[in-house]
Structure 1
């Protein structure tokens, strides 16, 4: 990296980390005047634009950044990415056969699933997605598989799943925000105070279960895990071994309340339109949570005002749950 461009990138990141996104963009722009192909400047500029809600500029920039990084993707596509990228990128035109592939995290895939019906209206699409999301994705009008087809000669073009937002020209005014995922279970009837909890995210917020339960005042509630894995705590009912996201959706629908950190369970609760879903956020949170009402209107957020203090957001969520469970106004 050019040393002067490096200086501007790091100044921009410092502003970004203080949630000063306009100032961050000024510095990333300065870096890109020196080196238009500097991937860190492109990526961070895109993220700052998205954090401001400027999706019309942010999503195309985001895709340019991933290409500059030569991103190979998470999930089921990594070993096949060279075969996949031999296909031209889809630009939103009518296509006979389209290969769509899940390349980022589980939450990103759940967020982008709202656009699968629009994709299927324009193309005969095959979606390659992580095995844990296959049953969830089958509610849409696309062919779903957890592995890249051996023969790609019948496909006209390709689309990384999250890139659909740039292709469709998504902006602040045209996001499909109605619930678009559901489970196979009916809504809970004569429900007690059941709370589904997720306390550990992959990249953003991570607690041990014990620390989470110390901060969250959940006495009197029945606690159910929304995270796979063994739980050494008798207070929390685990998911069954081998659970996928359809199992998580079934559990979410049976819950009275959801309390989650920034992880795929929060995306799923928002996509289902759960009426009492509560999301704990760090001071510096992911761009999509800065305008959560555009993506998941029923999701309520509780953000740190001090990066070193979780007591305030937990106090607010504890009070909200107490008022809901006792039918008192907040």
Structure 2
């Protein structure tokens, strides 16, 4: 072995240590140096590809994966990671081929079966996907990602009892669990017990599942407290039967709970089936102190008569499927501007908020965002509207939980499990939520055309019969 090869391998070893310590920039620099000394170091190409993909340099990542595979075609993990990058790029056939190559080399890697199952589920091949995910779990019964992917598939198909079981293997709430001294609730008797419901995942998840506070009280719990995202605290204090509501950064050291439970475990231990979803609507209210302000403000902006419609067209850009679930621009909704008798209000915060000002001259919309300081304000504003039209984000859950009609625009690709399949209604929000689904691809035009026609029918004054 020559000196340059030795030095390259030493740099590769150092980079691996830096990757394990999450020092990704340092690791990348070391790998670049290693490959300059020895460009035939296959695993260095593979690790560099993973790092490049992680920071968004996907085309460069693909190049290094291809070099790694050329140098080491019998490395299943390289094929596996390459497949994941191709799937991220939505090169689905190429990703599937990469996963199959990984399985030919080593069929014992559960991660390959899991990724292949997820890919097939994303593309509507559900029976095959369930088989692949089952193989992953046969190899590793505790494989978190395989359980989660299978849970999403089963729940989307309405197979709730199986789906909740697999969802229970998620592990993202563990950091918060460390601060709690009480036992985890897993269906034990709650008679005269004090329970803490802990938030997890996103705002929409908490808004959807906080309804189970009332279910726990009905099961005999003496008190049900909630540990919440700080921004949701004022809103969750309006839940019927709720005890104390704490923000995540509040001091809870004096609390004495018998049990704690992550909020998304409540459907499992409450025995929720598709035909038995607890759905007493509304179950949230806007805080009273914000209602007065928003009633006066919107009455000034939009005197009656006239239909008041709130709009949200972008979700959190960090969400995995945001490129599909969010609209390309507020201009995608432009056909709605032609419906007479409607006053539109922007409830859009964050990504997309600037578009309201940019296109102000061409759209009849009032921007409420500057005064929306949190979910309490958003709830109070929604209470003054007749309808909310939204992409799949927390505001849609909020509107429906308040009992406000909500039209939800759903992507064809990776539609979230909670909206099930093919339905135009939601059993989670009966009578108030209407689902509008993309037929195929990423084309929102047919959806917006249908919404325009329905809005026209609603806004059109009813003529008295002769």
TM-score category of the 2 structures, normalised to the smaller one: 0.7 to 0.9
Which position in structure 1 is the counterpart of 2:284? 181
Within the alignment, does 1:83 sit opposite 2:163 as a pair? no
Aligned to 2:244: 143
Q: Output one character per residue of 1:210-235: Cα deviation in whole Å (capped at 9) or x when no partner.
A: 43444644554322122335545243
Change over 3 Å in CA distance of 1:208–1:222 after alignment to 2: farther
For 1:197, the equivalent position in structure 2 comes to 311
Structure 1 gaps of 5+ residues are: none
What residue in structure 2 maps to residue 302 of structure 1?
436
Give the match's secondary structure for 1:294.
Answer: coil
Deviation at 1:60, TM superposition (A): 2.1
- Asked if the contact 2:151/2:166 (under 8 Å) is kept, the reply is yes
| Corresponding position of 1:125 | 224
Q: Which runs of 5+ in 2 are unaligned?
A: 1-76, 78-102
Query: Residue 426 of structure 2 contacts residue 435 of structure 2 at CA under 8 Å; is this kept in 1?
Result: no
Look up the match of 1:161. 263
Query: Does the CA-based 8 Å contact 2:217-2:223 persist in structure 1?
Result: yes
Task: Quote the offset at 1:87 in angstroms.
Answer: 3.1
Q: Which residue of 1 aligns with 2:161?
A: 56
Residue of structure 2 equivalent to 1:211: 331
For residues 123 and 163 of structure 1, the distance between their equivalents in structure 2, rounded to whole angstroms, comes to 20
SS in 1 for 2:183: coil
Change over 3 Å in CA distance of 1:255–1:218 after alignment to 2: farther
In structure 2, how many angstroms separate the alpha carbons of the residues matched to 1:261 and 1:47? 19
SS at match of 1:173: coil
**Residue matched to 1:227:** 348
- Structure 1 residue 317, shift from structure 2 partner: 0.8
Aligned pair in 2 of structure 1 residues 241, 208: CA closer, same or farther (>3 Å)? farther
Kept in 2, the 8 Å contact 1:120–1:142? The answer is: no
Take 1:217 and 1:306, find their aligned partners in 2: how far apart are those partners?
A: 25
How many angstroms apart in 1 are the aligned matches of 2:238 and 2:338?
34
Partner of 1:279: 408
Alpha-carbon separation, structure 1, partners of 2:396 and 2:338: 18
Q: Higher mean Cα deviation, 168-177 or 222-231? A: 222-231
Count of equivalent residues: 318
Distance 1:250 1:153 in 2: 31
Distance across 1 between alignment mates of 2:209 and 2:215? 11
For 2:237 and 2:335, locate their aligned partners in 1 and report how far apart those are by CA, in whole Å: 37
Tell whether the 8 Å contact from 1:42 to 1:61 is kept in structure 2 after alignment.
yes
Check the 8 A contact 1:21/1:51 in 2, yes or no: no
CA contact (8 A) 2:327 2:444 kept: no
Structure 1 position 299, deviation (Å): 0.9
User: What's the C-alpha RMSD, in Å, of the aligned pairs?
Assistant: 2.7
The answer to whether structure 1 residue 267 and structure 2 residue 397 are counterparts is yes
Q: Which has the higher helix share?
A: 2
Q: Provide the rounded CA distance (Å) in 2 between the counterparts of 1:90 and 1:152.
A: 20
How far the C-alpha of 1:259 sits from its partner, in A, is: 0.8
